Every structure is written in C-alpha cells, then in structure tokens.
A and B are shown apart, each in its own frame.
Chain A
Amino acid sequence: MALMRITSPHAHGPQKTSWVMQQVLLATVPGLIVLTHFFGFGTLINVLWASILALAFEALALKLRKRPIGFYLGDYSALVTAVLLGIALPPYSPWWLITVGMASSILLAKHLYGGLGYNPFNPAMVGYVVLLISFPVQMTSWAPPRGAGELPGLMEALQACFTPGNYDGVTMATPLDVLKQNNSLLVEDLWQANPQFGRWAGVGWEWANIAFLAGGLWLLYQRIFTWHAPVAMLATLTLMAALFYDGGSSASGGSPLFHLLSGATMFGAFFIVTDPVSSAVSVRGRLIYGALIGILIYLIRVFGNYPDAVAFAVLIMNLAAPFIDQYTQPRTYGHVKSGGGD
C-alpha cells in the first residue's frame, strides 16, 4: 500500500461544527419549556413548523446551488436558524407568517450571500425583521401568560397555526409595551395596575429569560463562545437602564432588572449576539460589538417605535462588524502595537 502524503497537522481535535450547532439547539430547551409552560404550545409549534421549512428551504437552495445536500444539511445550521426564529415569533403565529419568515432567513439572508459562514446578517433576525416590518399586527400580538387568561390547548394551538381563519385568540400587551405606552403612572403604580408584570419583569418573561440565561451559561461552559459579547451587551443595557431609571417616575424607562429579564434580552445575549458568523471576531471587537448592541437595545426599546429591539440592534451591529474588525486586530506575538487600522 502506498503511503499517503498529507501536510501537517495530522492530529485533529474532537470538535465538529455539527456538534457546536447541536449544543446550541440543546441549550434552547430550558427556554422552550418555560415558554410552553407560560404561553402554551404556540412556541413549540412555531419551532416545529419552522424546522420543517428550514430543512426544505435549505435542501432547495443547496440543490439550486448544486451542492451536496446531505453533507450540508448535516451541519445543523438551518435547524438552529429555525429554532431561533420560532422562539422569537409570537406564539400562535399563522403558518404563512412562519413560512415567509423562514424563506427570508434561509433563502434571502443565508444562501443568497453564499450559505453558511458567508452571511453578513444573522439569518433568524433578518427573517424576524422582514416579518415585523411587513406584518406589524401579527408580529406584535402576544398571547396572555398563564394566569392572565386561559391558555389554548394543543388542538387550538395547531388550529391557530394551520387554519388561522378559524382561530380567535386573545392577545395582550407585553410588559415592555405597557411600560412604553405609560405616561401617567409611577412605575410602582403601573405594576399594581397590570397583573402581567409579575415579580420583576412580567409573568412568564422573567422565567423565560432566566431559562435562556441558564442555556447560555451551559454554552459558555461548553466553550461554544466566549463571554465577551453577551456580558458587554448585558452590562451596557444595565448601565443605560440605571441611567434612565429616573427613580421610577412616570417618565422612567424601567429598572435595570426589568430590562434584563424582559422581552428577548437573555435570548438575544446568548443565542443571537453570540452568532459567530455575523459578529466581530477579536476579543476587543466582540466587547465593542456587544456593548453597542446593549446600548442600541435600550435606545430602541425606550425611545423607538418598536416594543422590543434585539433584532434591529443586532442587524445594525452586523453591519458594523467588519468595520469593528478592521480596528480591533489583537496584538500579534512580537509586535509592539496591535495591528489593524489604515
């Protein structure tokens, strides 16, 4: 037998891209359980339908691009996009909404740019923003959490998704929404007046955020990503909230704890901001990238027109990532200054 000629290194570590993606999927499980507990089966059905669509669109795109379908489907990246978008969408979204969202994510944001690794924007967030701009009504109607109304059963949930005409769901403003619309009550009174605020940041929301935080910490432990971007994002969001808390007056932007446990904060910090493909690459770059996302989230939440802001903040910073990379090259061994710049 002839000896093989291969260049070094000959040894390879155990890491696989598919393993990385599987860990991300696994880490969403606590959050999914909490969301299902508080808001019913809506999110689970979102995720399942989105996953089926993601695989179909991915296979279609690969076929059109004449790439080996099985090989690329095996990297699980399409499934990750589907799960992330499914979680981000309001529960009980109609099937066509999810379909449009997944088509935007997989075909527009991912494969038009060259597929996995080449997309400048986070695909799930592109899908989300396309839907938010095109269908604001459907995208801003959240189901009331357990306790504030009756939760639909599994059959009703399926109906809501696949025969949306026959489904007449109840919706309720999210805590972020209520706080934004408030212009007369002190924060304390607002809490009293609205049962959905819960203990810190909204019934269901606070626990969902804690669950996503737990998933994120698991990923951190597994060294799927580094702490820099999420911690920077949470830190600046906290700082902004503290600066504009205003002692809980009627003009208050909400407390830091409220912002940390509301809306998509933890989900965004550990599952969206950490997307390596569309973020900055160096340690310093990721700190800056995360910090600016945190500031943008607060500004859009409190001073903007949309109730939640993770998607917009992330997309804007995706745009800035190459620029940040240019100026945050680390100092190479044996060099006096860090490189980059001109």
Chain B
Amino acid sequence: MRKLFDFHGGIHPPENKHQSVRTGIATAGIPDELVLPLAQHIGAPSAPLVEAGERVLKGQMLAEAAGTVSVPLHAPTSGTIIAIEERKIAHPSGHSAPCVVLRSDGKDEWVEHHPIADYKSTEKQQLLQCIRDAGIAGLGGAGFPTAVKLAVGPSKPIDTLIINGTECEPYITADDILMRERADAIIEGTLILAHILAPDKILIGVEDNKPEAYSTLQAAASGSAIEVVSFPTKYPSGGEKQLIEILTGKQVPSGGLPADIGIVCQNVGSAAAVHDAVILGQPLISRIVTVTGNAVREPQNFHALLGTPMHFLLEQAGYEADKNQRLIMGGPMMGFTVPSADVPIVKTTNCILAPTADELPVNPPPQPCIRCGMCAEACPASLLPQQLFWFAQGKEFEKAEQHNLFDCIECGACSYVCPSNIPLVQYYRAAKAEVIQLRQDAEKSEHSRLRFEARQARKEREAAEKEAKRAARKKAAEEKARLAAEAGSAEEDPIQAAIERAKAKKAAQVAGSANESQLEKLEKAVVTTRKRLDTATTKLEAARAEGADHADALQLGVDKTRAKLEAAEKALQDYQQANGTPQAAAADATDAAQAAIQKAMAARDAEANKSPQDKARDALAKLEARLAKSEARLQAGREAGEEEKIMIALEATVERLREKVAAARDQAQETEQC
C-alpha cells in the first residue's frame, strides 16, 4: 500500500453521483448543426483554415494552433462549413465568441487516419507533435494544452506522472464511466505519456467512492508499471495541487508548476484522448458528458461530438425546462451558469447540470460574518477566508495579497460551509480582478512617469547648456573689455586679475573647445602665455619702479610664466613638426572640425538612445572626472604654495563638485532602482 497524505481542510458535500451511472455511456448521435468555438482551451484561439461553403471531412483540421500555448480544432463529422461567426458560447461572461459552424451531411465520412504503429520506437518530439496536432487540451476542465504540459525541459526531470481520476465534484461521473468502460485506453494512453516523460513512478489516483472504476483500472494496469491508488473521498481532492499532496506529500510551490517538483498531472480523459490520437490516429472531436440534475428525467453520460448544442443532449435525457432554474456547465462547486441551452459542448464540458430550484436553492441574503472560522477549517489552501473577505470588502488589497489572495483556487469550500451565506469566492474573484487591474495601471503610470522625467531632465540639461554658453560669451566679452582697459592701469590687483583671466580662459575654452583643433589650441596657448608674460613684465617693472613689496612675488610669477611660454612654444613646434607644414595643419584642422562635429552628433544620438540609467551613470562619471581634476589642481596649488585667495577659490570649486557628484550618485542609484 502506498503511503497517502492528507491536505488541509476540504468538505463532504452530497455526492449525487449515483443518478447518472445507472446506465452505460449512450451515444448522442450527430446533430444537424455543430458550433465549434475557436477557443476551447487556455491560450490563444486557434486560427481558421477553412472558409464558409467548404466541405470538410470528419477529423479534418478546421483551425490551426496560433502560437505555442494553443491547439488546433477538427471537424467532429463530415459536412459543410456554413459560417465562421460570433456565436453564444459556454463561458462565465456569457459573451459570444468566434465559432466555426458546421452543417453535418449525415455521412460521417472520416479523413485518412495516420496512427503511430509503434510509439515506443518513436521520437518524443514526434509524439508531442501528434498530441498537439490532435487538439488535445486538458479534459478535466481547465483545458490547458496537453502537449505544452508534457514538453518539460531537461532542466526539470519528471519523477512522477500522476493521472487524475479523482473527479471530486459532486454530480459529475464522466471520468468515472470512462474509467469503467475505457480502462484499457486510459492505461495505454498513460503508458504513452510515461514513454514521453520517462518518470520513475506512474500513479493513477481514484477516490474511494468509485470502487468499480478502481478495480477495472487495476485489472487493466496489472503487469504494467502503473500503480492505481485509491484514497478517501473529500472535496477538492481532485484539484491538481491537492491530488499531488495526497499522493506524494509534496506541495507545488506558490506561483510555480508541478513540473518544478518533478511532477506532471494529466486527467484520465486526456490520457484516453492521447491513446486515440497516437494509436488510432483520431483527433479530439468528441468527449464524455454527464447530463444530470433533477430537471432531467434520465440522468446519464453521453458520448457527444464537440460542438453539439447542450439542448441536443438535454432532450435525449428527458429535459424538463420548466423545472430548470439554472443550467450549469461543470459541477455545483466550480461550474458556471450558461446563458442558454443552445451553447455548444466544448473540450472542457464534463457535465451539464440541470438542477431544480429545490435541489440547489438560491442562497438567502448573506448575514454578517461572525468570523466563526468554519471557512478557514475548510480551506484546502490553508488561507484565512474570513480575513480575505474582510480585506476584499474593505478594498485593502495590499493586505489581501499579504494574506495570499492569489493562492486561492476558488474551489468554493469556504462559501459552502459559511453559515452566514456569504458568497466568499465571488469576493475573491472580484478582488483578484481588481488587483490585476491595479497592477496594470501602476505599470502604465510608472512607465509614463519615467518617460516624463527623462524628458524633463533633457529639457533642463539643454537649458543649462544654453545658459552656460551665454554666460561664457558674456564673461569673455567683459574680460576683453577689461583687458583693454587694464593695459593702461597697472594699479589693479594682480591676483584678482589673474583669477579673472584664468576664468576667462576657461570660459573661452568651454565655449570654443568643441570646434578647436589641437593646433589652434597650441597656438592660442603660445599667444596668451606671451601676452600674460608681457603684462606681468610690465607690472613687475612698474612695481619695481614704485618699490612695492610684492615685487618679489611678481618676479616669481614672471619667471613661471616665462617657463610656461617656453613649454608652450616647444609644444607648438613639436606639433608642427609632427604634422607637417602649417598649411597641412590647417587642412587637418578643418578635418578635425568636421570630425568633432560628427563626434558631437554621434554623441547626441547616443545620448538620445541611452536609457535613463545610462544617462545618470554617464553624468556621474563626467562629474567624477571633473572632481578628480579639480582635486589634483588643488593639491598642486597647495604644494606650490599658491596664494590664499586662489586656494580658497580652488577649494570652493572642489567642494561644489563634490556636492554635485553626490547628487549625481543619488540620481544614478534612483534610476537604477526604477
């Protein structure tokens, strides 16, 4: 005996399964008109391959899979496509959806079958393609494409394959009867799935309220590696997560997939469909549907073609429409009401439940929640439904998420036990929808905030650059005027003048550096240094003549300037020698200017393409370089024993740059976090 585990909570609603298993599977026959929704599975709707007026054969592909998570759709019988249009379908929203409408010709003429004779010697990929082409999507009710579930990468080795024959929802017996009547197909299909996944263990889980199905399966599985496991009946043990816990004791990580813990779970119906696809070469065009409830006289299971209108089956089961209050697709716990009996059977239709008003009465108005905790005891996900309800009602979505709202599987156990008749699941559905909406909105607004900020920063930078250029031009002009005036007056403070000149030089450099070639720079350096030497010499002479006490200092300055001039002249000479004649140098200069323009344009383009993070990072790097330069200058000044005023100015510059670097660093970090 396999060791079984229990899951938290669960309920025991009246099973009501006996009514529909008194007879075997009945064949529903072929209705005149079949309506086939393009979306009968989770994922992208399939894309039609046929047009209205076309004749199709049974099993012919009508629509192909659109994308990875999608499955194709096949003709359930031969006939003529009369339209591809919006029709009412079985969906909780009650909306219409695009459907292929097929008028049957009664001949039921098959396309050619392409079975795979020996699946054991067939490539895994080919088998997956075969399952995908057969249009198989989880027949248990979720409708997830089976091939996608089976195509787990080598990074996730599968250790256990679980076939779900639990069918824990009250009333539904489609899987039960399938296990009784087609056990061999289920076992064969399971072996094919096992061949694809190569698991260590193959388990088929059946609740102990289906002893006949269990023993039939066990007989069919004898001699194979398949282990059929029976376990106590409790709703919702057929939930994938719950079944995995029952059979393995493991829990699927929140937000993860069973494959993350080495498990793949498939429904018995899907296993049988895989058998049909591989061994018989038949696509999924029909399924077993339970038709039950007190509003039908003869509850039973039908083998029905996909696209069959619900009323076609209901009438065969003795439907009493006047007694029927709501028509449910699925079971009483998780099924949804359909807008009319005209909607078609799809791949996920396991049951049509037509209860009377006495059978499933409408809930009386809800009373206040007294936090009795019965819901928490029943919750299979170990949530606190009463707290979630409180948060959902108060729209405290953050707290609801903190209480793991999204781990709710909407099984309805909490609503079932609630003594105050509160429609708890409805609150959770609404809260989930609202949280998702809020997340999308937040994402959108964050996106536009970043865009706005980037634009704002660009505008500010442009304005600052303009302003800097303007200020530099102004200063240069002023300095020129001053120099002109100064030429005569030696009285002016030489230190002040030196600072001003230095500033002017810098400003001029900033303004003109972009278009200045190396040669021009050198020539300019020579000219300005010479000019400075002249002025300094003049001043020195004047000071000597007056016998001023700063004459020594001025002498030092003159010597220094002379040294600089010599260095500058030498540099110019070197450059000229290296680059040929001055004419050639001039040509170079134009080229260099051209290059500089191109470089500037490239830089601008790069700037425009940069992300905010990169921009912030670049700004930071630039500032840091400037800071390093100023610090070096300050250090040099200190060593050279520059005058106090100059030192103060240099220190102030360094300080200011440090602040800017710090600010830029913050900015960079912020953008990086965004």
Interface string of B411-446 (1 = CB under 8 A from A): 010011111110101100100000000000000000
CB distance from A15 to the nearest CB of B (A): 4
CB distance from B531 to the nearest CB of A (A): 69
CB distance from B521 to the nearest CB of A (A): 61
Q: Bound state CA distance, A1 and B340, in angstroms?
A: 11
Tell whether A163 is near chain B: CB-to-CB under 8 Å: no
Which residues of chain B from 1 to 37 have a CB within 8 Å of any chain A CB? 7-8, 11, 13-14
Which B residues lie within 8 Å of A6 (CB)?
326, 337, 362
Which residues of chain A from 9 to 32 have a CB within 8 Å of any chain B CB? 9-13, 15-17, 19-20
Q: Are B415 and A116 in contact (CB under 8 A)?
A: no
Q: Are A10 and B355 in contact (CB under 8 A)?
A: yes
CB distance from B300 to the nearest CB of A (A): 21
* CB-nearest residue of chain B to A116: B368
Q: Bound state CA distance, A9 and B245, in angstroms?
A: 23
CB distance from B258 to the nearest CB of A (A): 11
- Please pick, from A118, A281, A335, the residue contacting B376 in the complex, using a CB distance under 8 A: A281
CB distance from A163 to the nearest CB of B (A): 38
Q: Are A5 and B326 in contact (CB under 8 A)?
A: yes
Q: Are A11 and B360 in contact (CB under 8 A)?
A: yes
Which A residues lie within 8 Å of B256 (CB)?
334
Q: Bound state CA distance, A6 and B255, in angstroms?
A: 29
Which B residues lie within 8 Å of A199 (CB)?
none
Q: Are B415 and A12 in contact (CB under 8 A)?
A: yes
- Please pick, from B11, B368, B371, B381, the residue contacting A13 in the complex, using a CB distance under 8 A: B11
Q: Bound state CA distance, A169 and B564, in angstroms?
A: 118
* CB-nearest residue of chain A to B380: A333
Which residues of chain B from 336 to 352 have a CB within 8 Å of any chain A CB? 336-341
Q: A334-B253, A339-B404 are in contact. Are A9 and B412 (CB under 8 A)?
A: yes
Tell whether A307 is near chain B: CB-to-CB under 8 Å: no
* CB-nearest residue of chain B to A114: B368
Binds B, one of A38-46, A181-189, A253-261, A324-332: A324-332
Tell whether B583 is near chain A: CB-to-CB under 8 Å: no
Which residues of chain A from 27 to 75 have a CB within 8 Å of any chain B CB? 71-72, 75
* CB-nearest residue of chain B to A340: B402
Which B residues lie within 8 Å of A137 (CB)?
none
Q: A333-B382, A333-B407 are in contact. Are A11 and B332 (CB under 8 A)?
A: yes
Q: Are B253 and A281 in contact (CB under 8 A)?
A: no
Tell whether B173 is near chain A: CB-to-CB under 8 Å: no
CB distance from A8 to the nearest CB of B (A): 5
* CB-nearest residue of chain B to A10: B332
Which residues of chain A from 64 to 90 have a CB within 8 Å of any chain B CB? 71-72, 75, 77
Tell whether A282 is near chain B: CB-to-CB under 8 Å: yes
Interface-central residue, A5, A15, A333, by most chain B CB under 10 Å: A333
Which A residues lie within 8 Å of B337 (CB)?
3-7, 10
Interface string of B368-379 (1 = CB under 8 A from A): 111111101100
* CB-nearest residue of chain B to A330: B382
Q: Bound state CA distance, A118 and B369, in angstroms?
A: 8
Tell whether B613 is near chain A: CB-to-CB under 8 Å: no
Which residues of chain B from 57 to 109 have a CB within 8 Å of any chain A CB? 92, 94
Tell whether A171 is near chain B: CB-to-CB under 8 Å: no
Tell whether A115 is near chain B: CB-to-CB under 8 Å: yes
Interface-central residue, B253, B335, B355, B420, by most chain A CB under 10 Å: B420
Q: Bound state CA distance, A276 and B256, in angstroms?
A: 34
Q: A115-B368, A334-B241 are in contact. Are A7 and B407 (CB under 8 A)?
A: no
- Please pick, from A276, A330, A336, the residue contacting B372 in the complex, using a CB distance under 8 A: A276
Which residues of chain A from 224 to 238 have a CB within 8 Å of any chain B CB? 224-226
CB distance from A279 to the nearest CB of B (A): 8
Q: Are A334 and B251 in contact (CB under 8 A)?
A: yes
Tell whether B262 is near chain A: CB-to-CB under 8 Å: no
Q: Bound state CA distance, A4 and B324, in angstroms?
A: 9
Tell whether A117 is near chain B: CB-to-CB under 8 Å: yes
CB distance from A109 to the nearest CB of B (A): 15
Which residues of chain B from 216 to 239 have a CB within 8 Å of any chain A CB? none
Q: Bound state CA distance, A339 and B423, in angstroms?
A: 25
Which A residues lie within 8 Å of B369 (CB)?
117
Q: Are A334 and B11 in contact (CB under 8 A)?
A: no
Q: Are A8 and B371 in contact (CB under 8 A)?
A: no
Which A residues lie within 8 Å of B362 (CB)?
4, 6
Q: Are B170 and A226 in contact (CB under 8 A)?
A: no
* CB-nearest residue of chain B to A279: B371
CB distance from B322 to the nearest CB of A (A): 7
Tell whether A277 is near chain B: CB-to-CB under 8 Å: yes
Which B residues lie within 8 Å of A9 (CB)?
332-334, 412, 415-416, 425
Tell whether B273 is near chain A: CB-to-CB under 8 Å: no
Q: Are B412 and A333 in contact (CB under 8 A)?
A: no
Interface string of A301-332 (1 = CB under 8 A from B): 00000000000000000000000010001111
Q: Are B368 and A117 in contact (CB under 8 A)?
A: yes
* CB-nearest residue of chain A to B354: A3
Q: Are A8 and B251 in contact (CB under 8 A)?
A: no
Tell whether B551 is near chain A: CB-to-CB under 8 Å: no
Which A residues lie within 8 Å of B577 (CB)?
none
Binds A, one of B383-391, B470-478, B603-611: B383-391
Which A residues lie within 8 Å of B326 (CB)?
3-6, 10
Interface size on A, residues (CB 8 A): 45
Tell whether B327 is near chain A: CB-to-CB under 8 Å: yes
Tell whether B131 is near chain A: CB-to-CB under 8 Å: no
Interface string of B129-143 (1 = CB under 8 A from A): 000000000000000
Q: Are A7 and B374 in contact (CB under 8 A)?
A: no
Interface string of A258-297 (1 = CB under 8 A from B): 0000000000000000001101011000000000000000
Which B residues lie within 8 Å of A8 (CB)?
330, 332-336, 410, 412, 425
Which B residues lie within 8 Å of A276 (CB)?
370-373
Q: Are A11 and B381 in contact (CB under 8 A)?
A: no
Q: Are B371 and A339 in contact (CB under 8 A)?
A: no
Tell whether B403 is near chain A: CB-to-CB under 8 Å: yes
Q: Bound state CA distance, A107 and B217, in angstroms?
A: 64
Tell whether B515 is near chain A: CB-to-CB under 8 Å: no
Interface-central residue, A8, A13, A77, A225, by most chain B CB under 10 Å: A8
Q: Are A3 and B324 in contact (CB under 8 A)?
A: yes
Q: Bound state CA distance, A19 and B420, in angstroms?
A: 10
* CB-nearest residue of chain B to A285: B384
Which B residues lie within 8 Å of A336 (CB)?
253
Q: A3-B338, A4-B326, A277-B371 are in contact. Are A333 and B241 (CB under 8 A)?
A: yes
Which A residues lie within 8 Å of B368 (CB)?
75, 115-118
Interface-central residue, B322, B365, B423, by most chain A CB under 10 Å: B423
CB distance from B276 to the nearest CB of A (A): 30
- Please pick, from A5, A12, A279, A334, the residue contacting B94 in the complex, using a CB distance under 8 A: A5
Tell whether B305 is near chain A: CB-to-CB under 8 Å: no
Q: Bound state CA distance, A323 and B384, in angstroms?
A: 15
Q: Are A71 and B371 in contact (CB under 8 A)?
A: no
- Please pick, from B254, B336, B415, the residue contacting A332 in the complex, using a CB distance under 8 A: B254
Tell whether B363 is near chain A: CB-to-CB under 8 Å: yes
Q: Are A17 and B355 in contact (CB under 8 A)?
A: no
Q: Are B416 and A335 in contact (CB under 8 A)?
A: no
Which B residues lie within 8 Å of A16 (CB)?
419, 421
Which B residues lie within 8 Å of A7 (CB)?
92, 336-337, 423, 425-426, 429
Q: Bound state CA distance, A12 and B11, in angstroms?
A: 11
Task: Mark A residues whose CB is within 8 Å of B.
Answer: 1, 3-13, 15-17, 19-20, 71-72, 75, 77, 115-118, 223-226, 276-277, 279, 281-282, 325, 329-336, 339-340
Closest 8 CB pairs of A and B: A9-B412, A117-B368, A334-B254, A11-B332, A15-B419, A4-B326, A332-B404, A333-B381
12 A-B residue pairings within 8 Å (CB atoms): A1-B322, A3-B327, A8-B330, A12-B363, A13-B418, A15-B417, A15-B419, A117-B368, A279-B371, A281-B371, A330-B384, A333-B381
Known: A8-B334, A335-B254, A335-B407. 20 other contacts (CB 8 A): A3-B324, A3-B326, A4-B362, A6-B337, A7-B426, A9-B334, A9-B412, A9-B415, A10-B355, A12-B415, A12-B421, A15-B419, A117-B369, A276-B372, A281-B376, A332-B254, A332-B381, A333-B254, A334-B255, A334-B407
